[in-house]
A and B are shown apart, each in its own frame.
Chain A
Amino acid sequence: DTEVTQTPKHLVMGMTNKKSLKCEQHMGHRAMYWYKQKAKKPPELMFVYSYEKLSINESVPSRFSPECPNSSLLNLHLHALQPEDSALYLCASSQEGPFTYEQYFGPGTRLTVT
């Protein structure tokens, strides 16, 4: 199984809402990543977890809060977002990390903030 799953596929939320994005992999990978991608741009790294510990935070605003409950799961908690946060949010995993092994990406969550 070389699949990374993400839920939900689409999310529309108001600026006062709290929501969460979920990412799951069952490949035994020990590194997991959150990326943000705007239209026609490459992905921008947000967070990296290695062995369930946050190893990289790319100066992301505190309205984004990552969580890694176990080695298979990665969440991104969202609160008080701005319209400019609308984007495709991608999760990825790799055997070890960060970055030294091939990354496998999920299909993404399309987030719209109204």
Chain B
Amino acid sequence: KQEVTQIPAALSVPEGENLVLNCSFTDSAIYNLQWFRQDPGKGLTSLLLIQSSQREQTSGRLNASLDKSSGRSTLYIAASQPGDSATYLCAVTMDSNYQLIWGAGTKLIIKP
């Protein structure tokens, strides 16, 4: 059974720092992996989607990498800003049944 883990559960860093959020999964038979952002009480915003054949995707200050063989993905945020404060969730789509399995999220706080 696929398990998706995000560590740490919470992270607080000063503004301007570069940071990395981690997502690990136990079953490498995935179709794709998505990173989402969620502000308190709001819906989810899709940040990046990486297909299983890809190694990384970039959007602005965000870069997501995928290493299927080791069951890991990282979300790199460059030059963090207070507006980046949110909960970041990763989710994998299974190859077998296309179910979406979610991590519990990392709550990120960027201090001005």
Q: Taking beta carbons and an 8 Å cutoff, which residues of A are in contact with B?
A: 4, 6, 41-43, 45, 88, 90, 92, 97-108, 110
Contacts and interface: CB of A to CB of B under 8 A. Distances in A.
Given A90-B44, A105-B45, A110-B41, A99 B98 contact: yes
B73 interface: no
20 contacts: A6-B43, A42-B91, A42-B103, A45-B99, A90-B43, A90-B44, A92-B44, A97-B98, A99-B98, A100-B93, A100-B98, A101-B49, A102-B34, A102-B46, A102-B49, A103-B46, A103-B100, A105-B45, A106-B43, A108-B43
A-B pairs, top 5 by smallest CB distance, nearest first, are A42-B102, A105-B44, A99-B98, A107-B43, A105-B43
The DSSP consensus for interface residues of chain B is strand
Nearest to B47: A102
B100 A104 contact: no
A58 B46 CA distance: 23
Nearest to A43: B102
Interface of B: 31-32, 34, 36, 41-46, 49, 89, 91, 93, 98-100, 102-105
A96 B41 CA distance: 27
A42 B46 contact: no
A34 to B, nearest CB: 13
Nearest to A108: B43
A57 to B, nearest CB: 13
Contacts of B102: 42-43
